[in-house]
Amino acid sequence: MENKQELERMIRSMVMNIMNGTDTGAATVSEGALPDEPGVFSTVNAAVAAAKQAQIKFEECALATRGKAIEAIRQSMRPLVNKLAQMTYDETGMGRVADKIIKLNLTLDKTPGVEDLVTECETGDNGMTLYELSPYGVIGAVTPSTNPSETLICNAIGMLAAGNAIFFSVHPGAKKLSRWLVSQLNRIVADAIGIDNLIVTIAEPSIEAAQEMMVHPEVPLLVVTGGPGVVHQALCSGKKVIGAGAGNPPAFVDETANIRQAAQDIVMGASFDNNILCIAEKSVVAVRSIADELIEEMKKAGAVLIERDDQIQKLLDITLQKNCTPSRKYVGRNANVILRDAGIEVEGDPRLIIMRTDKHHPFATTEMLMPILPVVTVENFEDGLATCLFLEAGLHHTATMHSLNLERLNKMARAMKTSIFVKNGPSYAGLGYNGEGTTTFTIATPTGEATTSARHFARRRRCCLTTGFQIR
């Protein structure tokens, strides 16, 4: 408590000094910079000050220059993808290296750049009005431990495209790879367009540093990809916030679906990178008449069915903490590791653990972020839709449905009101992987932006010419 109070006093003093023009600690570009690590600083204030100076230069550049910086990131990072995927796994212990390689390549290929900044125009008897998307300045971006490198690169591309500099407040559980990645991106951008410190971070991330960044007067926009707690903190800052919150996506399979394909899609989506994607299937809701067939096909696709109540309880005991949150020890871990620690012997190397539960079971109601997938049986479509609404819990994140009934597909899409809705495919199709559209790793459900891109990181400004512009 004393540390928190001291931090608050320090932040208030810093803010007042800056507002009064008496801040003796105002950093220059060189202050607090770490040698041989461009973009990495010892303090938040030094990092933000350097980013601010860089953004002033960047703001004067043409869109083509922004595009040049982004293209340099795409080209220069591609040879480093395998290394970055391994570094991410080594530091976090989550997921699968092969799947991380896919995610990173997806990020480089399908994150929108300057083409996302569309200018609108109105003309008439009274002149012309332009609506253009302009930079905020320095964006404070919080990244998670689950998808740290993908989120950082994806946000860097979109935010640079919008003309901003970025201060990354990275998760302490992924600080080594994030620090390395920020330095790499800084070098790439500086070599491409001659501006240093457009992407910055600090050497030792912490909750206190994140809080300091959130109240910093030179950070007008916060983009938070993380848990509900940090999103709430950001929303209390009084600033513009883009917040990516929790999800608990259900996958609904009705009696009209292609059962084999549905099973394969669900297993692949739910086991991809060991379920650490927030969009991944977190439960299956199946109509009773096809539930047994679906489970058998899921087993053929790489899932293992746990049927004994005592074994299901063992899984629950080790993976869910007393406070009803997932154990970090097992988030993103392989299915065989979880099974081994629960004392459950199975044949082979399953990608996914499945079991039958009711809709109230903790495995169904909790976003586990592990390759554990409960199957809830329902009587019919209406019962299934109500169950999916219950499990998704109004988070408006993601849902999937497998059906050949177009009316039902559309009805569920309207009822769920999710940011991403996937029909007859794995959840990751909603990110553009084996699906159409662009990709993002910041899905802003609490604040309503949904699948974010460059346009969300820019202010919409209206410019009026009253002297007339009419050639009709």
Q: Which pLDDT does position 303 carry in this prediction?
A: 98
For the cut 70, the answer to whether the pLDDT of residue 378 exceeds it is: yes
Average pLDDT over residues 73-89: 98
Q: What is the pLDDT of residues 270-300, one digit of tens each?
A: 999 999 999 999 999 999 999 999 999 999 9
Mean pLDDT estimate for the chain:
93
> What pTM was estimated for this model as a whole?
0.91
Query: pLDDT value at position 1?
Result: 44
Gap between the Cα atoms of 109 and 416, Å rounded = 30
pLDDT at 226: 85
Band (pLDDT 50/70/90 cuts) for residue 228 is: confident
Q: What percent of the chain has pLDDT over 90?
A: 86
pLDDT at 30: 55
Half-sphere exposure of residue 222: CA atoms within 13 angstroms, side-chain side: 28
Cα separation, 201 vs 179, whole angstroms: 7
Tell me what pLDDT residue 470 has. 65
What is the three-state SS of 114-156? HHHCCCEEEEECCEEEEEEEEECCEEEEECCCCCHHHHHHHHH
Which of the pair, 123 or 135, is modelled with greater confidence?
135
The reported pLDDT for the residue numbered 13 is 44
Q: Which residue has the higher pLDDT, 202 or 230?
A: 202
Q: Got the DSSP string for 254-312?
A: -TTS-HHHHHHHHHHHHHGGGG-STTS--EEEEEHHHHHHHHHHHHHTTEEE---HHHH
Does position 36 have pLDDT exceeding 60, yes or no? yes
In this prediction, residue 224 has a pLDDT band, given cuts at 50, 70 and 90, of: very high
Q: How confident is the model at residue 436 (pLDDT cuts 50, 70, 90)?
A: very high
Range in 227-231, 246-250, 261-265 with the lowest mean pLDDT = 227-231
Tokens of 362: 């903790």
Instruction: Give the pLDDT of residue 468.
Output: 65
Taken in order of first residue, the domains within the chain and their CATH numbers are: 25-245+452-462 (3.40.605.10), 250-445 (3.40.309.10)
Q: How confident is the model at residue 19, as a pLDDT? A: 42
Average pLDDT value for residue range 66-76: 98
What's the angle, vertex CA 395, arms to CA 393 and CA 398, rounded to 5? 105
User: Which residues on adjacent β-strands are paired with residue 423?
Assistant: 401
Which stretch of 196-200, 252-256, 462-466 has the lowest confidence by average pLDDT?
A: 462-466
Q: Does residue 195 carry a pLDDT above 90? A: yes
Q: In the prediction, which pLDDT does 18 show?
A: 41
Over 50: is that where the pLDDT of 339 sits?
Answer: yes
**Residue 278 burial (CB count, 10 A):** 26
pLDDT, average across residues 166-177:
97
At residue 104, does pLDDT exceed 50?
A: yes
pLDDT band at residue 24, thresholds of 50, 70 and 90?
A: very low
Please report, for residues 254, 270, 326, the alpha-carbon distance to residue 262 in angstroms, rounded to integers and kept in the order given. 10, 12, 27
pLDDT at 414: 98
What's the pLDDT band for 9 if we cut at 50, 70, 90?
A: very low
Q: Is the pLDDT of residue 238 over 60?
A: yes
Dihedral of alpha carbons 150, 371, 437, 249, sign? negative
